[in-house]
Amino acid sequence: MALFPLLTEQRIQEAQEDGVFDNLPGSGKPLNLPEAGQEDAVTAFGYRVMAEAGAVPEEVRLARALQEARAAWQRAEDSEEKARLMTRIAELGMRHAMAVEQRRRRRG
């Protein structure tokens, strides 16, 4: 076995013995792994790191904004407000579709 993996394993073992990993957020809870075929492991890990940092992918942010705009449209009573919201919904829908397509193209 190479030296680096041995040192890494030793450092992890020492940290466990020192309690460094005790009381971490989510400790003792099951991992929220994607269903087979949804995400590759690297993408899923990236999403998790981003979520823990409070960041979200652009397409997720746009999907949330789109959902909020649709809900606002349903609540709106004024025809001018509905028209303004419909324009916003169309814009968000287009931007969301572009963000999804951009991610697909980057994945190959």
Q: What is the pLDDT of residues 7-16, one digit of tens each?
A: 888 888 888 8
pLDDT of residue 53: 85
CA gap 108, 106 in Å, rounded: 5
105 found inside a domain: yes
Please give the residue range of the domain that contains residue 68.
57-108
The number of angstroms, rounded, from the C-alpha of 50 to the middle of its chain's C-alpha atoms is 6
Q: Does residue 33 sit within a domain?
A: no
Query: What pLDDT sits at residue 103?
Result: 82
Is residue 69 domain-resident?
Answer: yes
Domain count, the chain: 1
CA dist 19 and 24 (Å) reads 10
Give a yes or no: residue 106 inside a domain: yes
Per the prediction, the chain carries an average pLDDT of: 83
In a domain, 8, yes or no: no
Looking at the domain assignment, is residue 32 inside a domain? no
Distances (CA, A) of 16 to 11, 12, 28: 9, 6, 15
Instruction: Let me know if residue 17 belongs to a domain.
Output: no
Given this model, what pLDDT does residue 54 score? 79
DSSP, res 85: H
**What are the tens digits of pLDDT across the range 35-88?**
544 567 787 788 788 878 878 778 888 999 999 999 999 999 999 999 999 999
pLDDT of residue 86: 95
pTM exceeding the 0.75 threshold for the entire prediction: no
